């Protein structure tokens, strides 16, 4: 009799999929299928090469005479030559390869009125699909005209939407020469300058190489500032508080086929209730940007579907409203709200986010996609930027329209720039 009862129970489990144990690999597969461009899993690429373009317009000559730039390009070559085997290009009205980095140490080679960035980006676009390439443009970002300026903004926007990173390095370095200020009529006014002036490196490459390139450029010890445009999964996520109706489980402890989960936590739902949780993001990239504000956080919710006729899971938008705000440790000191609490001394206010939903019916399977979209630039950008009509003393020490170049990333209408994307799952307990 007992054997017959057990057989009936097993048959019922097989007949009703909702009784089966949830397969967390479905979440991983869904993210890889629908959001794979942000899945910056480490790759095994044996050889990475660099194409380095150096702007050779007349105003760059002052950096050569200032000597500090020569020290940089020399150190760049001797530190990068064996590992990356750079190919150097002189960027002017066109671009052409040069035999040696020493070409850029000769001030006589800086004799062009403007550099044509469009030619360099045409080269980058043609080769962007080659994962083994990284591109560097070294320039003072002086433009032939407003059309050329908008062209650079458009190119950088387009590249940032691909599976690439775009990084801007900046330094006010020694300068001894002439700065050229364009008048509204289109003529150039030469302004002699002895002192410092901003120099930039624009780095473009596949996200697989971001950490290695970032480390190696930083180790040169030359650049003072940097800002990275990349969409990545954070290095670490920690849930500090969660509603009692939802048992939280770190993805690393779940039975997954992969060693690096693309989602952070699963919330195992015990009963119909609202979901509320506080989590902390940890990633060095966030140090380059202003702190988290309410308008930066966006939540997307999806139903996880299993189609019997298809092997892979699918998704559809879930009709669940969420709120997302930065969290401060003193917000819930007087109200526990039925949540699991940690000691306030364990919770810091930086990079904490609070997510709340309306009541979620038990039995559903959901994927939460949380996007962090910066709304403003760090303060140092203003220190490097001046308007076109700035007084000469200000103009020669700053870069015309530099802030506008970076803002073009943030106001992209086709797809807003997302810095961090992280995922959570909600499944029945």
Note down pLDDT in tens along the chain; length 429 residues. Answer: 544 554 544 444 443 344 446 788 888 888 888 776 554 444 545 678 999 999 998 889 999 999 999 999 999 999 999 899 999 999 887 788 999 999 999 988 888 777 777 778 888 877 766 678 899 999 998 876 556 666 677 776 666 556 788 899 999 999 999 998 877 776 778 999 999 999 999 998 888 888 999 999 999 999 999 999 998 899 999 999 999 999 999 998 888 887 688 899 999 999 989 999 999 999 999 999 998 887 899 999 999 987 666 667 888 999 999 999 999 766 554 444 444 444 333 433 478 999 999 889 888 899 999 999 998 999 999 999 999 889 999 999 999 889 988 888 787 666 788 899 999 999 998
Write out the two tokens for 393.
Answer: 């003393």
CA–CA gap between residue 46 and residue 228 (Å, rounded) = 24
* Element containing residue 200 per DSSP (H, E): strand 188-206
402 in any annotated domain: no
CA–CA gap between residue 141 and residue 149 (Å, rounded) = 9
Task: State phi, psi for 264 to the nearest 5 degrees.
Answer: -95, -50
Model confidence over 264-290: pLDDT tens digits? 999 999 998 999 999 999 999 999 999
Q: E-strand spans in 208-272? A: 225-229, 236-242, 246-250, 265-269
206 and 284: one domain?
no
CA atoms within 13 A of residue 59's CA, in its CB half-sphere:
29
Model confidence over 139-198: pLDDT tens digits? 998 876 556 666 677 776 666 556 788 899 999 999 999 998 877 776 778 999 999 999
403 in any annotated domain: no
- pTM of the entire structure? 0.85
Please report how the helices 146-160 and 117-127 are oriented relative to each other, as an axis angle in degrees rounded to 10: 20
Under a CB-based contact definition with an 8 Å cutoff, are residues 291 and 350 in contact?
yes
Domain assignment of residue 279, given as a range: 21-40+233-374+419-428
144 and 281: one domain?
no
Residue linked to tokens 């480390």: 215
293 in any annotated domain: yes
Write out the two tokens for 286.
Answer: 């966030």
300 and 364: one domain?
yes
Degrees, nearest 5: CA angle 219-172-63: 95
Q: Among 185, 204, 230, which residue terminates a domain?
A: 230
177 in any annotated domain: yes
Write out the two tokens for 18.
Answer: 């909702």
What percent of the residues of the chain are helix, what percent strand, and what percent coil, each to the nearest 5? 30, 35, 35
Write out the two tokens for 70.
Answer: 């020569």
93 and 218: one domain?
yes
91 and 224: one domain?
yes
Say whether 218 sits in a helix, a strand or coil: helix
Under a CB-based contact definition with an 8 Å cutoff, are residues 428 and 268 in contact?
yes
* Element containing residue 10 per DSSP (H, E): helix 2-15
Number of folded domains in the chain? 2
Say whether 4 sits in a helix, a strand or coil: helix
209 and 264: one domain?
no
Question: Which 8-state DSSP code applies to residue 122?
Answer: H
Under a CB-based contact definition with an 8 Å cutoff, are residues 47 and 130 in contact?
no
222 and 282: one domain?
no
117 in any annotated domain: yes
Strand partners, 317: 302
219 and 328: one domain?
no
Under a CB-based contact definition with an 8 Å cutoff, are residues 209 and 215 in contact?
no
Strand partners, 75: none
CATH number at residue 185: 3.40.50
385 in any annotated domain: no
244 and 226: one domain?
no
CA-based nearest residue to 254, from 61, 418, 424: 424
Say whether 107 sits in a helix, a strand or coil: helix
79 and 213: one domain?
yes
Nearest-Å Rg of the Cα atoms of the chain is: 26
277 and 366: one domain?
yes
237 and 250: one domain?
yes
């Amino acid at each position: 009799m007992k054997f017959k009862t057990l057989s009936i129970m097993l048959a019922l489990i097989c007949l009703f999929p909702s009784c089966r144990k949830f397969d967390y690999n479905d979440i991983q597969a869904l993210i890889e299928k629908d959001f794979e461009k942000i899945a910056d899993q480490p790759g095994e690429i044996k050889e990475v090469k660099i194409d380095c373009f150096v702007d050779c317009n007349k105003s760059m000559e002052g950096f050569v005479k200032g000597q500090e730039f020569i020290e940089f390009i020399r150190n760049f070559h001797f530190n990068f030559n064996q590992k990356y085997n750079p190919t150097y290009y002189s960027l002017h009205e066109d671009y052409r390869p040069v035999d040696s980095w020493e070409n850029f140490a000769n001030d006589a080679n800086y004799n062009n009125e403007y550099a044509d960035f469009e030619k360099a980006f045409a080269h980058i676009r043609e080769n962007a699909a080659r994962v083994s390439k990284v591109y560097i443009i070294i320039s003072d970002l002086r433009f032939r005209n407003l059309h050329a300026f908008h062209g650079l903004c458009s190119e950088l926007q387009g590249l940032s939407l691909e599976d690439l990173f775009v990084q801007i390095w900046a330094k006010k370095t020694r300068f001894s020469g002439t700065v050229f200020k364009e008048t509204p009529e289109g003529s150039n006014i030469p302004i002699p300058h002895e002192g410092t002036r901003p120099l930039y490196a624009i780095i473009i490459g596949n996200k697989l190489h971001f950490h290695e390139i970032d480390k190696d450029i930083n180790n040169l010890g030359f650049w003072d500032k940097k800002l990275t445009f990349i969409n990545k999964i954070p290095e670490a996520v920690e849930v500090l508080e969660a509603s009692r109706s939802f048992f939280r489980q770190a993805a690393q402890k779940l039975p997954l086929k992969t060693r690096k989960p693309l989602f952070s936590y699963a919330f195992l739902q015990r009963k119909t209730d609202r979901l509320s949780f506080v989590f902390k993001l940890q990633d060095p990239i966030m140090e380059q940007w202003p702190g988290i504000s309410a308008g930066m956080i966006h939540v997307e919710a999806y139903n996880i579907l299993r189609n019997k006729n298809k092997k892979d899971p699918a998704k559809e938008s879930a009709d669940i409203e969420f709120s997302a705000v930065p969290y401060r440790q003193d917000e819930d000191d007087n109200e526990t709200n039925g949540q699991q609490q940690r000691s306030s001394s364990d919770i810091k206010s930086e990079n904490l986010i609070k997510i709340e939903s309306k009541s979620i019916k038990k039995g559903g399977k959901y994927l939460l996609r949380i996007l962090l979209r910066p709304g403003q630039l760090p303060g140092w950008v203003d220190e490097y930027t001046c308007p076109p009509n700035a007084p000469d003393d200000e103009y020669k020490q700053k870069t015309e329209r530099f802030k506008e170049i970076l803002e073009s990333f943030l106001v992209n209408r086709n797809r807003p720039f997302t810095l961090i994307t992280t995922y959570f799952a909600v499944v029945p307990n």
